């Protein structure tokens, strides 16, 4: 065990020789310990929270959920705008953009926005905490917990080692999608009177699946053209996108295709039962009328 720990310690010390100096000294960036312990705290709350809430009434948090979700939509809009603005001015290539450790204003704007994107993944832990407090345990799926915990860790790696270049594009797309997603959550938290305006939930999942598919294609293309970007990052991205496609794909099938079939079957069964009841009433009325005629 000691030799294994020493191996990983030595490996981490070696990786520190090529970290990006532009984010050095920034909040939560220099050491992995804060990210690690925050992740441990998150998983501990996920495990113990539902147990604590088991015999308690769910909290009604609408007064908190509306500003939280709309605030997260605003933050993601800010990140999207900052990243897109600088990427366009720098003429970033969507297919391959090396991470060059230069400190021009536009490059630093991208680094700064990537840090905010990483920090937003910490704030998103609140999504899970609100589910626990509202006793929405069915929302605490493996997909939800896997998504929140791994994104926080991977984007710490991003801000420490590769906070610009091709790293910017996944953040641009994902932050743009999160504007839509948190706007949806914020509006739905206002109350049931908003339901008629929220018909587009299904399309959020479709957009996310397209996002993962696009990122996977670009990742494989980066490997194909030997993009000047860390090779291990390219392989990690491809594997990570495959996991999301599988998990989100299963969610989409379960939530929309299987659920639609179930609702259709229930509707057909209800219609058949109603038709059967009407036929019974017709037969019954016919018998009653025959008896009256006698």
Average pLDDT of the chain to the nearest whole number: 88
Tell me, what DSSP letter sits at residue 55? T
- Regarding predicted confidence, which is higher, 214 or 262? 214
Instruction: Residue 96: name the closest of 220, 245, 244, 211 by CA.
Output: 220
Q: What is the mean pLDDT of residues 4-33?
A: 88
Convert the pLDDT of each residue in 135-171 to its tens digit: 999 899 999 999 999 999 999 999 999 999 999 999 9
**Is a pLDDT exceeding 60 seen at residue 172?**
yes
Q: Is 192 exposed, middle or buried (0-12, 13-18, 19+ CB in 10 A)?
A: exposed
**Is a pLDDT exceeding 70 seen at residue 255?**
yes
Identify the weakest region by mean pLDDT among 172-176, 222-226, 231-235, 290-294: 290-294
Given 147, 148, 178, 260, the catalytic residue: 147
Identify the weakest region by mean pLDDT among 67-76, 120-129, 199-208: 199-208
Residue 6, pLDDT score = 80
- Catalytic residue check, 144: no
Give domain limits for the chain: 25-277
Is 154:97 a contact under the CB 8 Å cutoff? no
pTM, 2 dp: 0.85
Q: Side-chain half-sphere of 12: how many Cα atoms within 13 Å? A: 12
């Amino acid at each position: 065990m000691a030799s294994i720990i020493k191996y990983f310690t030595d490996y981490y010390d070696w990786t520190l020789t090529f970290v990006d100096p532009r984010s050095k000294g920034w909040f939560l960036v220099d050491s992995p310990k804060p990210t690690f312990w925050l992740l441990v705290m998150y998983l501990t709350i996920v495990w113990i929270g539902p147990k604590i809430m088991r015999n308690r009434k769910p909290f009604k948090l609408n007064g908190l959920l509306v500003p939280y979700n709309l605030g997260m939509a605003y933050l993601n809009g800010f990140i999207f705008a900052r990243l897109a603005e600088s990427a366009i001015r720098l003429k970033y290539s969507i297919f391959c953009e090396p991470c060059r450790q230069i400190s021009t204003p536009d490059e630093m704007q991208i680094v700064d926005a990537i840090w905010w994107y990483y920090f937003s993944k910490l704030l998103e832990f609140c999504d899970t905490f609100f589910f626990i407090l509202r006793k929405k345990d069915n929302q605490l799926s493996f997909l939800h917990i896997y998504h929140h915990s791994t994104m926080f860790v991977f984007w710490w790696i991003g801000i420490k080692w590769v906070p610009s270049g091709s790293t910017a594009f996944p953040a641009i797309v994902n932050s743009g999608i999160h504007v839509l997603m948190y706007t949806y959550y914020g509006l739905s938290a206002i109350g049931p009177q908003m339901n008629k305006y929220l018909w587009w939930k299904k399309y959020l999942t479709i957009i996310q699946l397209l996002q993962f598919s696009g990122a996977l294609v670009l990742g494989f293309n980066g490997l194909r053209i030997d993009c000047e970007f860390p090779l291990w990052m390219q392989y990690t991205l491809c594997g990570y996108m495959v996991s999301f496609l599988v998990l989100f794909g299963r969610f989409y099938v379960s939530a929309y295709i299987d659920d639609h079939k179930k609702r259709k079957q229930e509707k057909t069964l209800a219609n058949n039962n109603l038709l059967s009841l009407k036929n019974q009433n017709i037969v019954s009325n016919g018998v009653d009328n025959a008896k009256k005629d006698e």
